[in-house]
Amino acid sequence: MAAPEIEIILNRQLADCLSVPVFIVDPEGTLLFYNEPAESILGKRFEETGEMKRMEWSTIFQPIDGEGRPIPPEELPLVIALTQQKPAHKRFFIKNYNGDRHRINVTSYPIIGRSKKFSGAVAIFWTDNEDV
């Protein structure tokens, strides 16, 4: 399997150093990596899930609004970063592997390298469980 571009590798190195959860996907939305802080929100270690296709992870980690209604994929920051190649931010809830509900703030940005090649996207998220 080919190595990812260095922009992706550097984002992973950065993610490993951060205390906030980070999620990295390739241009097709395949989950390439999430860091240890993300594991506690998502409910599983990355070593257990490994890489996942977009359809798979987007159904496992169910995004819902404050009323419990599903959020359409096109409104999710990571999907916007992937499809429109622009940064996006949103506050919403997810249900994780274990059925736990977390309110999170998500900021996503596209990864576009020096050669202008789009290599994927990153989502950084913060749990926000006040007033849930």
Partner 1 sequence: MKIRILGCRGSYPTAKKENALYGQSTSCVEVIHDGRRLILDAGTGILGLNFSDYFDLPRIDIFLTHLHMDHIQGLGFFKPLFVPGKEVHIWGPGGSTHSLKNRLNRYLSPPLFPLPLRDLPCELEIHELADSDFSIDGLNIKTEFVIHPGPTIGYRIERGEKIFVYIPDHEPMIGSQELYSGSRWISGSSLCAQADVLIHDAQYTEEEYESRYGWGHSSVKHMIELAEHSKVKTVYMFHHDPDHSDAFLEDMVTKAQKKVDDPLLSVKLASQGLEIEI
Nearer to partner 1, 66 or 113 (CB): 113
Q: Does 18 bind partner 1 (CB under 8 A)?
A: no
Neighbours of 72 (CB within 10 A): 9
Q: Does 13 bind partner 1 (CB under 8 A)?
A: yes
Q: Are 104 and 128 in contact (CB under 8 A)?
A: yes
Q: Least separation, in Å, of the C-beta of 129 and partner 1?
A: 31
For residues 94-116, one letter each, b for 16 or more C-beta atoms within 10 angstroms of the residue's C-beta and e for the rest, the string is: bbbeeeeebbbebbbbbbeeeee
Nearer to partner 1, 7 or 128 (CB): 7
Q: Least separation, in Å, of the C-beta of 16 and partner 1?
A: 8
Q: Does 10 bind partner 1 (CB under 8 A)?
A: yes
Contact residues for partner 1 (CB under 8 A)?
A: 1-6, 9-10, 12-13, 17, 113-117
